[in-house]
Chain A
Amino acid sequence: GAVVSQHPSRVICKSGTSVKIECRSLDFQATTMFWYRQFPKQSLMLMATSNEGSKATYEQGVEKDKFLINHASLTLSTLTVTSAHPEDSSFYICSVLGTGRGGELFFGEGSRLTVL
């Protein structure tokens, strides 16, 4: 069964609204989670590393005030796209680092955001 679950899988919102995407580790506690974004016909790009109990580490060029990450528990990280605009429409994927599992990454099924 799934090790990582993302919700929602698809979301459509109006420009200017905020959208929250959840990433849950179902099988084990995760101190570290990662958020990726994929635009059509492009690579998955790492956006940020989410650390439980501390601030997320953002990759260069990713606006931390635009993409709020909260990793409040060992099984849940959330990504909030604030004041979303059409250019934020993308496929967002989270992954969980399986500590004690040889460092393997486990991925959620992804969330497709469409901003009208």
Chain B
Amino acid sequence: GDSVTQMEGPVTLSEEAFLTINCTYTATGYPSLFWYVQYPGEGLQLLLKATKADDKGSNKGFEATYRKETTSFHLEKGSVQVSDSAVYFCALTLSFGNEKLTFGTGTRLTIIP
């Protein structure tokens, strides 16, 4: 079946450090890929997405490129801030309407000043 494997946390970085959170997937077709973020006390929010191979999603300084050859969608940010502390979820869907997401386990990121 379809699945998402992401980097186990927790991850702790200093402010302004470079961030990479790895995500790889297994899917029977050609999925759309997502990164969601959950800040403390809030619901998951869509951070970025990519719908086809070689697409790059970006938002708030975060980027992820859809790599079909390596079945990956790694999340990166060049300089993290304390406000980026949150749980990050990689997800995919094969459904047209973007529902029925398959999620990874989530990676807790803590940025220290």
Chain A positions within 8 Å of B, measured between CB atoms, are: 2-4, 6, 32, 34, 36, 38, 41-46, 49, 93, 95, 97, 103-110
Question: Which chain B residues border A93 with CB–CB below 8 Å?
Answer: 43-44
Chain B residue total in the interface (Cβ 8 A) = 20
The DSSP consensus for interface residues of chain B is: loop
Verify if B52 is at the interface (C-beta below 8 Å from A).
no
Contact of A104 with B98 at beta-carbon distance under 8 Å, contacts A43-B103, A44-B89 already known = yes
Verify if B81 is at the interface (C-beta below 8 Å from A).
no
Distance (whole angstroms) from the CB of B108 to the closest CB of chain A: 11
In the complex, how many residue pairs between chain A and chain B have their CB atoms under 8 Å apart?
54
Verify if B69 is at the interface (C-beta below 8 Å from A).
no
Question: Which chain A residues border B44 with CB–CB below 8 Å?
Answer: 93, 95, 107
Question: Which chain B residues border A109 with CB–CB below 8 Å?
Answer: 41-43
Distance (whole angstroms) from the CB of B47 to the closest CB of chain A: 12
Question: Which chain A residues border B106 with CB–CB below 8 Å?
Answer: 38, 43-44
> Which of B36, B41, B99, B104 has most A Cβ within 10 Å?
B99
Query: A111 vs B79: C-alpha distance in the bound complex, in angstroms?
Result: 32
Q: Which of B63-113 contact A (CB under 8 A)?
A: 89, 97-106
